[in-house]
Structure 1
């Protein structure tokens, strides 16, 4: 699946382009839902989201007939944002910092949006396959660039990196913050930590 450029995340939008006012209302609703879900959970009243967005309930239900569709839209926007950040970081003159800076954002996303992800209980496979592919592509592009610059050991894969980052997101605590765990991960993946042939033979 790896690619050299981070592709966009799947978005639950119609193929036909929205009018400017409809797009504005859509964006307001997604932004309001992100804030309300963050502060009050995914079961927060939908009326509160419409009120926060400054639109009527009829407008909200026209864009998002069900809570599930609104949750998917919020999660998709988060994934799309991470992919966009990956693309912008590809221009960084410090590839190692770009990779691990993006990983910090990925970890924050997993930790903060876990409830959203778990609330999508039906037809999860296609959605999460698409999101996973987008994240993998984004990480692969940054990782390949960091490896080419000699900033990260060459035997590391994007799948391994995302698995480790996901573990950090789910297990980090105030006593062991994510930032320290990411630092340890970075130290462990530094090119100076790459096993030598003699080490591999000894381990075998």
Structure 2
């Protein structure tokens, strides 16, 4: 059997990209209950095309999560070598906030029933965050009682706060990120209670 033509491969790649974009939009609007039929309709393809690319809905979710986690984790790993660990952590949190401003799909990453691939992606990203926080803490730029898990939970906070406004100004989430980051600093810090959670 001859290999598929370049045109067929290009069509398949285009359909996959359309499906991922449609799925992101559908999940952002409808949450985790978005159906494969609605995703296919938004992409302008049949359900069969969806399942040719992604055997299950979980596979489709994992593909979406992988795109976002890979991009954010690459930023974090690059910043592990930052000369200023505090500036590196702030740059990472800013990148995370910008990604969520575009489309908040964190519920796919953090779902209790996430599939094994999503869990592995989540653990990889959280490990990078913890390393960034450890470096900043060791440099004295982050208070001693703040953990990487604290910062993982705070990553969603700036955009979550802004979501309560009907029509927030662009980049308002940056204001709340600045407040959060100041709260991570050791200057004027008071002891935290209760202890940080384990994720």
> Shorter-chain TM-score category?
0.5 to 0.7
Aligned equivalent of 2:23: 37
Q: Secondary structure of the residue that 1:79 maps to in structure 2?
A: helix
Work out the CA distance in 2 between the residues paired with 1:102 and 1:108.
10
Match of 1:194 among 189, 192, 198: 189
Aligned equivalent of 1:152: 142
Residues 50-105 of structure 1 show CA distances to partners (whole Å, capped at 9, x for unaligned) of: 77xxxx98775333134442222111221122111111112222321221221123
Q: Does 1:113 align with 2:107?
A: no
Work out the CA distance in 1 between the residues paired with 2:132 and 2:41.
41
Q: Does 1:184 align with 2:179?
A: yes
**Structure 2: which 5+ runs fail to align?**
1-5, 193-199
CA RMSD, 1 decimal: 3.8
Match of 1:102 among 84, 92, 97: 92
Structure 1 moving runs of 4+ over 6 Å: 21-27, 56-59
CA contact (8 A) 1:79 1:135 kept: yes
CA contact (8 A) 1:90 1:98 kept: yes
TM-score by length of 2: 0.65
CA contact (8 A) 1:50 1:60 kept: no
**Structure 1: which 5+ runs fail to align?**
1-20
Compare relative contact order (CA 8 Å, sep 6+) and give the higher one, 1 or 2: 1
Number of positions where the alignment pairs a residue of Structure 1 with one of Structure 2: 172
CA contact (8 A) 2:20 2:64 kept: yes
List aligned pairs for 1:1-204, cutoff 5 A: 28=14, 31-39=17-25, 41=29, 43=34, 44-46=38-40, 49=43, 61-110=51-100, 112-114=103-105, 117=108, 123-124=113-114, 126-127=116-117, 129-172=119-162, 173=165, 174=168, 177-195=172-190
66-75 vs 126-135, greater mean Cα deviation: 126-135
66-75 vs 127-136, greater mean Cα deviation: 127-136
Work out the CA distance in 1 between the residues paired with 2:70 and 2:52.
23
CA contact (8 A) 2:16 2:53 kept: no
Aligned equivalent of 2:197: none
Q: Secondary structure of the residue that 2:125 maps to in structure 1?
A: helix
TM-score by length of 1: 0.63
Q: Aligned-pair distance for 1:126?
A: 3.9
Work out the CA distance in 1 between the residues paired with 2:122 and 2:178.
24
